[in-house]
Every structure is written in structure tokens, then in C-alpha cells.
Amino acid sequence: MQTEQFTVQNVKCAGCASNIETGLKALPGVSDVEVMVEGGTVTVKGDTLDRGQLSAKLTELGYPEAWL
């Protein structure tokens, strides 16, 4: 099982977290998504995860990566 973690922008509420979870779980290979509203972190677990695809989906959903 792979794990990818992102720090993203614009995560402000439980609704944002739900949108991210639903959007990412629709991608192939994703088995679990955990969103921490405070801190804006997203942890994705699954088989054969494609970080680029996950990042593109987050951006599409309105939650681009925060480059620290």
C-alpha cells in the first residue's frame, strides 16, 4: 500500500473535506482519504497511486497544493 501526503490551499470546513474525499476516492487505486481541515493536509492511501494525478485532481476540485 502506498501513501501520499499533500498540503493544500482553501480547505476551510467539513464540506471542503467531504469534496476532497469524494473526488479523490473516485480515482483508480485510491482506497482511503483523510483530510485535516486544520493544517490543510490530505493523506491518500491505496495501491499504485499516481502523485501527479492526485495533485491534478486536487487542483481541479479547487484545492491546489501549497508549495511551502
Average pLDDT of the chain to the nearest whole number: 94
Give the domain CATH number at 42.
3.30.70.100
55 assigned to some structural domain: yes
| Residue 35 within any structural domain of the chain | yes
| CA contacts within 13 A on the Cβ side of 31 | 7
User: Could you count the other beta carbons within 10 Å of the beta carbon of residue 14?
Assistant: 10
CA distance 41 to 4: 11
Whether 66 is in a domain gets the answer no
Question: Domain for residue 22, yes or no?
Answer: yes
What's the confidence (pLDDT) of residue 41? 96
Range of the structural domain that residue 11 is part of: 2-61
Span 35-59, pLDDT tens digits: 999 999 999 999 989 999 999 999 9
